[in-house]
Structure 1
Amino acid sequence: FINIYALLNNKSISELNLNIKNVNLNEFIPLYPNFKFKGLTDLEVFYEKNSKKTSLNLNSNIKDFKINNSYFGQLNFNLSNNVNNNDSYSLNLSVLDNKRKKTIQSYGEVYGDKMNFFDIDFDINDLDISFLSKLSEKSINEIEGLVSGDLRLIKKNNKISHKGILNLRNGKLSIPYLNVKYSIDNSLVNLNKNNIVFKDIIFSDTKKNKGGLLNGKIYHNDLKEWGVDFKINSKNLLVVDKKLEELDVFYGKGYFSGDFTLKGLTKNVEIKVNGITENNTSIIIPWSDNYEVEDDLIVNFLDKNRNQNNDKFQNSIDESRGVDVKLELDVNNSAEIEIVLDKDSGSSIIGKGDGTLVMEIDTKGKFNIWGDFTASEGLYNFKNIGLIDKKLLLSSGGTIVWDGNPLDAKMDFDATYEVPGGANPAILLDNPSFNKKIPTEVKIHLEGKLLKPDNPVFEINFPNTSGTAESELNYRLTDPQIRQLQSLSLLSQGIFINEVGVSMQGITNNLYQKASDVFTNLLGDDNEKLKIGVNYLQGDKSALLDVAKEDRLGFTLSTKISEKILLNGKIGVPIGGLEQTLIVGNVQMDFLLNDEGSLKAKVFSKENEFRYIGDELGYTQGLGISYDVDFNNFKSLINKIRNKESDLKIIKTDFNNNPNKINFINKN
């Protein structure tokens, strides 16, 4: 309840009695920007003024006293005027915790006709300073610690200052935008004028307990505008530990050695990091969630909402409001940089290397990157529509260069995809006798803007493959369009494919091939001596064409009769034939005439590819002999033949005349 008695004399109060019981403190105390007071208040005030003197006596008891929701206990307060000075008042304040321990004991004087001057001494014992977190929730929060010591608080000439020495124990603070928390070892803090000074304080992150020395100060203007000016010389300090959240422009972990500074008013702190990366550093930049891959290019990313995405970057710093971040980093091989190209599919570039990066984020929504990064190793994770999920190895020397806008970063990378288990190139060689997989690599050169590269350049390599086969395969892949088609097939399916036009036949045959591959793999592996396959091929029955071909259910057989005889065959049963149902097919038998298999005799029977309407089904039979030799040009072929003849002569001469009997043997 509240009970008031007042006596007026000439429109001014000459006597006042005020009695308050169990009233919430925040209902009658003035609001203060950085502090909110709570508690159940009992208050007694006696005031009397006459021509001779002025008397004031104020007694207050506040239970469950809180500042910014930090619990202190019971606050006792007394203010009374001095007998010999009507404008001077004595102040006595104490705070007791739940165990009746005094955390604050204060004595002092308040003077002036409007009580606008004071000089108060505080004896502090294990005072919880968590209430200071409200000074700057968005830039620095979760302030913790216990403070003990002596403090003198003075207000003079409308300026508040302080002096004293405090002992800080178990100090901690957090930077929410970077999601890091730091601890401060037990240390002495000096209070001088409007500064709280820290000198050579051991400072470390709370997760890895790595850090350095902290120097600097916290300052204020009449306890209203608070600011910080800290510098930390760090060693392997955790400065970034962000989880992915909506609209984040970067996240990950960053360990750095160097200088780490916090400067400015607490409502708008500037954070700078200038140093080198350390082990376990991994920075991820999630560019966008609205990029797709064009159907005809493996890594051509389209920004369908360019303006919207730019707006997203310009407006994505709402959660960092009150923080300016500048990272100046010397990146080395201990750090991993990941750039997420498509958040939904997960396509990304991950690499380790060297470079220099400058990243800036401010409260106006700006996010800029300058610098370059040269990869020494890494992966390009290419994923799309849930069907393609491939890892391409980045070649050493690839670069990414930023010049401000992160969306305009430029890259120059070579990435290599090794087809698991290799691929069978028989369909390229038109050689059914070649029935095994060989090591196959797809190499892609990526250049241009990171989110929208230039058309990629494809190469297909066959490491550890004989020169003869490699030369023929390279010849078959000379055409860039064919090379691109086969590269895409290797990336998506791991196989070489027939060159087909864009027609319903080609589309449906690709679908049938998918189903056939599944069933064929159940019957045998590509590297087995005996391989059986099943396929279904749709015929072309277009009325606009003068050729006709039935749908066909086929079976394939590939085996070795002996080490010198190879058999490959295919039979099919036409379905829905124009006139009759026949069993048709192809068969080829190869005879290896030397150990290397370069000299072959061949016998075959092959169904004619086209049959005009009304004609009988036709076959072509034949036999032949072939010899394979590896050469790069015609001159090297002539030299190879001459060297063979020369080697034969040398063998004879050296064997008969050379006393050392060094024998040159022609294995052929």
Structure 2
Amino acid sequence: MVGDLMKSRGNGDMRFFIDETLDFNLFGNYQITSGEYLFTLKDFINKKFNVKPGGTITWFGDPYNAKLDLNAYYPLKTSLYNIMPSIERDNWTHKSNVHVDIHLQNDLMNPDIEFDISLPKAEETAKQTVKNLIYNEEAKNQQVFSLLILNKFIPENQNIISENTSRTNGATTSEVLSNQLGNMISSFTDEFEIGFNYSPGDSISDDELSIVMSTQQFNDRLLINTNLGVAPSNALNKDPNSFIGDVDVEYKLSRDGNLRLHAFNESNEYDLSNQSQSRYTQGVGAYYKQSFNSFGELFCEMTNIFRRKSNKCNQCDEPKSTRECP
């Protein structure tokens, strides 16, 4: 995909054919559950996007002529200071969670690309400000490439080209070194993926260092993702939450992964209007996911979870006209 690289996990019903002339044909629909998309642009951008579940790749014969439809995001933390009204800027020196979103569709080898920007944890004031800022494609792309190259927003009347070259090189170099260090450590073990994120600060925001680790244990039934780090405070930064301690744990209760337990601890976005705000939000719960063609099929699948293997309802796989679930 134009020099880019994608790797993913997923499932689907695929059919492979090789004829007498050794021509290879591929048919089927592949559904993505997780993955990474490496977006590159000459020597300026080399960013790893997280692929969201639900994307699809569909083949109709030619392996290189598939249709793609997926969404991914590049997460970063940066200050909203530069895009806020001047009267409010001093209240926005802390760093916020920002996603650069990307939508890839149509041809696999040369997809149409659409960008967007979202603030997953921010208050509505901040979300509306960003929405007003990216009112057209030119303004949106300007901020997207500023986030990808400089790791920050730029004022509305400023061009990204006018930014200090040393700042651009510093942001790019720090990310390259962080990625290389993470890849080197991860190469020593197959059980853990480890990454280092270093975000250089400036006169407004602080330096920030975090360690990201993910692992899958017990035959991929236990999934753990962590993001631990620290951001030193300065005189301008009013955010007291200098420690980062995000943990996300999932356990697959069923072998197919449809029934899961989920627990998490995540840092809250700093809210100026809520001085009694807790530093973290915790939660625990269970969820079940199942595709079905009728309520009878759904009931059959759900009851099978709690049955012994010898007593499972086999009618769930039969045609609708003959299916009977107890």
TM-score (norm 2): 0.49
Structure with greater helix percent: 2
Q: More relative contact order in 1 or in 2 (CA 8 Å, sep 6+)?
A: 2
Structure with greater strand percent: 1
Considering only CA atoms, is the larger Rg found in Structure 1 or Structure 2?
A: 1
TM-score (norm 1): 0.26
